[in-house]
Amino acid sequence: MELAFLHPLYERPGPWASVYVDTSRHTESTPDERRLTAQAMARELAGQGADEATCRAVRHAIEELGHSAEPHGRALFARDGEVVLDPPLARSPRREGAEWAPLPRVTPLLDLAGEDPVCVIAYVDRRGADFELRSALGRDDAGGVTGRQWPLHRTASSDWSERHFQLRVENTWEHNAAEIADALAVCQEETGADLLIVVGDDRERRAVRERLPQRLHGRVAEASHGAGSRLLDGDVERIRAEHVHARAAEELERFLAARGMDGEGRAGAVEGVPALVEAAREHRIDELLIRTDGPDAHREVWIGEDPDQLAVRRTDLKVLGEQNSWAARADDALIRSVVATGAPALAVDAAGPGDDAPVGGLGALLRW
C-alpha cells in the first residue's frame, strides 16, 4: 500500500484522535444511529483526554455520515478541533472505536483501506474493447478503443485467395490486440489501477495480455466470460481477493529469501522491533511488512518529534539528542517513519498462515 496520502497526519504534532466508523448498516433510522455513535465516540475520546474542540469535530463528522451512501465505512483522524483526514474504507471495520494517542492509529488502514485494489476491467473482442473502472466507491466508465473493423472473420475455403483473406484477418486481429493493449496501458497509468482484468474469449485475452508492457504483467488477471458479457460483483471480488493473496504471498516469499545472510554477511531483510527501529532511523526500510495481529505490533517504543526519532528505550532518544519523547505503538511509529521516506507498507495477513513470519508480526525488506 502506498502511504503518501497519510502525509498530512505527520505534518503536525500529536496527540491525535483516530476513529473507525462502520457505515454498512443503512436503515430508515441511520441518522439517529449515527448521532448515538457520534456521541459515544466523542465520550470515548474525552475519557482518554482529548480536548473538547477535537471531540466536537469528530462528533459532527460522524453525524454527517448518517446521510452518507458509503458502502463500508470511514476512518477519521483529528486534532486541535479539525478532522484532518477522513479516508473511505474498502471494507467495514470489525468494530467501531476511537483512540487518543501521540500518533494517529493508521495500521488498520492496511487491511481496511489498502487491500481492495482499484482495477480496470477490459471487455475485449476482435473489434476493440470497453474499459470499466472498479474501486471501493463503485464503478465508472473508463473509455475504450475501437480497432479495425474489417476483415474480422475467417472462411473455411482452401482457395489461395481465401487463404490470403484469412491472413488479412489474422493481421487485423493482431493490430487490434496491440491497440487494445496500448490503450489499456495508458488507462492503467491514468487511473493508477493496481489490477487489470481482461475479459473475453481465450485467444483474444491471450493476444492482449501478451502485448501489454512487461511492467504490467504481474497486475493482469483473466476472466473466461464470452465477449459482450459483464463481470458480476462477486466475480470481481473473487479476482481481487486472489490478486491480494498472491501479492502478499509473493512479498512474504521475497522477505523470507532476503532475511538470510549474503556472501558479505549482510541480510536484505530484518524482523523484530530493535532491528526495525535501527533500520528506520537509518532510512533503510524499502517495504514494511505487518501482520496486524502480531504481538510486536502493539509493543511500546519511544518517539520524538521527527519521524526518524524513535527508539526501543526512552533513554536511547536522549542519547540521540532528543529531549521530548512519547510512548507509541511500534507499528504506527514505523509507519510514520516509512511515510517520511516514501516506502510502502503491506499487511501480510492476506498471505495466509505460514511460518508466522515475520517474527513478532513486524518485518521489512531493506534498501541496502
Supply the pLDDT for residue 29: 58
Supply the pLDDT for residue 164: 42
- Reported as a single tens digit per residue, the pLDDT across 78-136 is 999 999 999 988 888 988 999 999 999 999 999 888 666 789 999 988 778 899 998 76
- Reported as a single tens digit per residue, the pLDDT across 25-55 is 756 556 788 899 999 999 999 999 999 999 9
Radius of gyration of the chain (CA): 25
pTM to 2 decimal places: 0.79
pLDDT confidence tier of residue 162, bands split at 50, 70 and 90? very low
Supply the pLDDT for residue 68: 66
Cβ-defined contacts of 43-50 (< 8 Å, 24+): 44/97, 44/98, 45/17, 45/19, 45/98, 45/100, 48/98, 48/99, 48/100, 49/15, 49/100, 50/15, 50/17, 50/100
- The more confident residue out of 332 and 147 is 332
Number of H helices and E strands in the chain, helices first, is 9, 17
Residue 71 DSSP code: S
Neighbouring-strand partners of residue 132: 121, 141
Supply the pLDDT for residue 47: 97
| Set of cell numbers at residue 173 | 486481429
pLDDT confidence tier of residue 352, bands split at 50, 70 and 90? low
The pair phi, psi for residue 196, each rounded to 5°, is -115, 125
**Is the Cα dihedral 160, 165, 169, 174 positive or negative?**
positive
